[in-house]
Structure 1
Amino acid sequence: MNQAVDKIKADYQSAKKQYAKLGVDTEAALAELSQISISMHCWQGDDVIGFEGNTELSGGIQATGNYPGRARTPEELMADIDQALSLIPGQHRLNLHASYAIFNDDNQVDRNQLKPEHFKAWVDFAKTRGLGIDFNPTFFSHPKAAEATLSSQDEDIRKFWIEHGQCCLRIAEYFAEELDSACTVNIWIPDGLKDVPADRTAPRARLKDSLDQIIAIPYDKDKVNVAVESKVFGIGLESYTVGSHEFYMNYAAQNNLLCLLDNGHYHPTESVADKISAMLLFYDKVALHVTRPVRWDSDHVVLYDDRTKEIAKEIIRNGSDRVILGLDFFDASINRISAWVVGMRNMQKALLNALLLPADKLAKLQDKKEFTKLMMLQEELKLYPVGAVWNYFCQQNKVPEQEYWFKEIEQYEKEILSKRQ
């Protein structure tokens, strides 16, 4: 074991010298990486089912596969989250959906009557682990979401979902106060039409009015960051989504809210990495959900791929303190805890890769129009020893490096997950 530790340190010292020749301070890079918290989404652990008794998803959402060991109770989900976090370096956050309220026999209510007390167990869980909590109203997998939610023509249904959104702002404020950490509340709705609409404006007018009513209630804007999230299309909503990118970008700007960019929610040829710098010229902050779309918004586990690395570069270049970063994927075809660990660690690897780039040197080459040298250097940097720096970061944070963390996943599956029916 000591030999392995010594080798990691020696490899790091060698990498440190190589990066120093480029003007890159690896110690500063590691210090900044340790300060970047990623909001880990609870819904990977149970296939977005929640604790309301739902057996299937709606709203154009699917979790494919039937890998054994899905978390079925709050206790199981919390234990799985603990296992994942024990293998991810750094200090992070937990992202909850409203459908993960924890009820007892006496206090179960519908979504428009949710209260902080229904999330006390999550606050207790977060407090003991030093986690912040982010939050999402759940506008899907509910009888009243069968056709539309905040854009519904049925005023009773629309009122129900407005009240749900208002409840979630109050709960978010509770999270922020209890945990002394601002809570981001992200609003996404599955409203839209399968075929070509005759009227695109009226549903959006209703959505605008609904959002106006939600954010009109008193809440501490220093403690609660409201974000709105667009989507280009969904299953059954192929021709028209009410909450388009242009709608939400303008609504967020007009109301001083966050515009959340999910990199699976755009046309496959669009780059969210390209959008970040444009957004931050006009917004103080932007929120991100990082996922991996495959042909469409299929929410695959985040890989250490070019798409993720480009997003990470823009986060670092524009200031990581200006980006509220979370992940959003759910894969039921593989070990769910491994999916969390792979996705979170890959996002961190991409951030580290960005932190180890000689950004000023590269920018100067662009300014001088030395594009030949710029291309050469960008390509050569791809084989610089970022892995040695990553292994050292894992060692610093007392989590297994390389693939060695997977042994703990295999043991947990054998002892815990395999016993779940």
Structure 2
Amino acid sequence: MSNKEQYIHEAYELAKKQYAALGVDVEAAIKKMEEVVVSLHCWQTDDVGGFETPDAELSGGGIQATGNYPGKATNIAEMRADLEKAISLIPGNLRLNLHAIYGDFQGELVDRDQIEPKHFQSWIDWCKEHNLGMDFNASNFSHPKADGGFTLSSKDPEIRAFWVEHLKRCREISAEIGRQLGSPCVHNSWIPDGSKDIPVDRNSHRALLKQSLDEALSIKYDADHMLDAVESKLFGIGAESMTVGSHDFYLGYAIKNNTLICLDNGHFHPTEEVGDKISACLQFVDQLLLHMTRPVRWDSDHVVTLNDDIKLIASEIIRNNFLGRVKLGLDFFDASINRIGAYVVGTRAVQKAFMIAMLEPTEQLVRLEEEGKGFERLAMLEELKSKPFGAVWDYYCLKMGVPAGEDYIQDVQEYEREVLAARSHELV
């Protein structure tokens, strides 16, 4: 055992005693971290480019990555290598979250209304090899048939039919993924549909969206294989004045059709807290999907950090024993820094938030609340902020066989020198 490992063990034993004084079983909390499963979004590796065509460039539809840091993945082999490196530095249980534009098309141009499970078989095999579950997303953006601003809600029946067929095929692919991997694949649908300026006819677009969704979701799949989710948004580039798939629309649709509602904490007004919405939505839907990101003034998809928004999300889930009803996913794409480093920082931040929530003496706090002891509750919450959570986290990382503390920074730097530099002269 190295000196650092010895210090981590010693600090952990002291932390256990401090938390035990509050009635918190630290070892039980670490054990419960096995239930926190985070779905890694593949699009952080290549800035949402995908592999439909060589050197794929986005053609519109509201997706925008900021920055051009050298060394991004340019093919499936590079993407998988980057994912494997990130996974080696992240503790806990993980899944892969894949968009339809990341199919293994073998150089063949396959339009989105023609994709099949065979185009994703190599991804399924890769997940089997790495003992990962897999989630999937229809890619209703960055395509010539999305440039008009409307997809599933388009008033052009040919465009609408194209995207309905795409969604149908994505659901079929998702069901096959879940069947082969023995774990339900969450299929999420988000569309960029909306209006830059103030529209007159909002209703027709929303009626068409409902019609399209009803058609696309008409085939029912085994819930052990596939789960549907629908994702709202407040606004987007080119859809500042009206978003067809608003929160109100999709929450109503999810409740009526018993699908998951996807809550992305970048898709709401800055003063809204997604953590506050979790218990509200779960009164009416069986499960929900979270896309965790860090908006800075708007849906800018910065790397997740251990901020109050993420901590509230984790606290609400743990306090109410919702882990079995909430699917956890990430959704950021920062191209301004090392992309593998972004993965590691963001995912570990989410996991830290859940560990902090598990180290909370919730029963004691609820009792104070119910007794009307507001000062005592506030004081306890404040004192918890300075408890030695970091000592428990470092021990957990050692236990999971990944670098503790800041040690992963050096690993990412070495990968950049040894692997990413070969992709870009800027890093040589």
Q: Into which bin does the TM-score normalised by the smaller protein fall?
A: over 0.9
Alignment of 1:7-406 (within 5 A): 7-53=7-53, 54-105=56-107, 108-147=109-148, 148-318=150-320, 319-406=322-409
Contact 2:61 2:143 in 1 (8 A): no
Distance (Å, rounded) in 2 between the aligned partners of 1:6 and 1:146: 58
Contact 1:49 1:56 in 2 (8 A): yes
TM superposition shift of 1:4: 1.6
TM superposition shift of 1:68: 0.2
TM superposition shift of 1:221: 2.8
TM superposition shift of 1:222: 3.0
Aligned length: 420
Secondary structure at the counterpart of residue 169 of structure 1 = helix
User: Amino acid of the residue matched to residue 397 of structure 2?
Assistant: C
CA shift digits 1:191-217 (9 cap, x unpaired) = 000011101100000000000001102
Give the stretch that moved more between structures: 329-338 or 53-62: 53-62
Aligned to 2:4: 4
Contact 2:8 2:391 in 1 (8 A): yes
TM superposition shift of 1:320: 1.1
Secondary structure at the counterpart of residue 298 of structure 1 = coil
Secondary structure at the counterpart of residue 259 of structure 1 = strand
Query: Normalization by structure 1: what TM-score?
Result: 0.98
User: Amino acid of the residue matched to residue 395 of structure 2?
Assistant: Y
Distance (Å, rounded) in 2 between the aligned partners of 1:36 and 1:19: 21
CA shift digits 1:9-40 (9 cap, x unpaired) = 11111111111111111111111112211000
User: Amino acid of the residue matched to residue 348 of structure 1?
Assistant: Q
- What runs of 5+ residues in structure 2 fail to find an aligned partner? none
Distance (Å, rounded) in 2 between the aligned partners of 1:60 and 1:177: 32
Distance (Å, rounded) in 2 between the aligned partners of 1:46 and 1:2: 37
Distance (Å, rounded) in 1 between the aligned partners of 2:212 and 2:324: 30
Secondary structure at the counterpart of residue 65 of structure 2 = coil
Contact 1:303 1:343 in 2 (8 A): yes
User: Amino acid of the residue matched to residue 368 of structure 2?
Assistant: L
Contact 2:58 2:143 in 1 (8 A): no
User: Amino acid of the residue matched to residue 274 of structure 2?
Assistant: V
CA shift digits 1:151-197 (9 cap, x unpaired) = 01110110000000000011001110111010000000000000111
CA shift digits 1:59-96 (9 cap, x unpaired) = 12210111000100000000000000000001200000
Secondary structure at the counterpart of residue 299 of structure 1 = coil
TM superposition shift of 1:227: 0.3
**What is the root-mean-square deviation in Å for CA atoms of aligned residues?**
1.0
Contact 1:48 1:57 in 2 (8 A): no
Contact 1:173 1:223 in 2 (8 A): yes
Give the stretch that moved more between structures: 5-14 or 246-255: 5-14
Contact 1:49 1:57 in 2 (8 A): no
- What runs of 5+ residues in structure 1 fail to find an aligned partner? none
Distance (Å, rounded) in 1 between the aligned partners of 2:275 and 2:293: 13
Distance (Å, rounded) in 2 between the aligned partners of 1:204 and 1:50: 29
User: Amino acid of the residue matched to residue 180 of structure 2?
Assistant: E
Secondary structure at the counterpart of residue 121 of structure 1 = helix
TM superposition shift of 1:57: 4.8
Distance (Å, rounded) in 2 between the aligned partners of 1:221 and 1:192: 31
CA shift digits 1:221-252 (9 cap, x unpaired) = 33211000000000111000000000000000
Secondary structure at the counterpart of residue 274 of structure 1 = helix
TM superposition shift of 1:407: 0.7
TM superposition shift of 1:2: 2.3
TM superposition shift of 1:419: 1.1
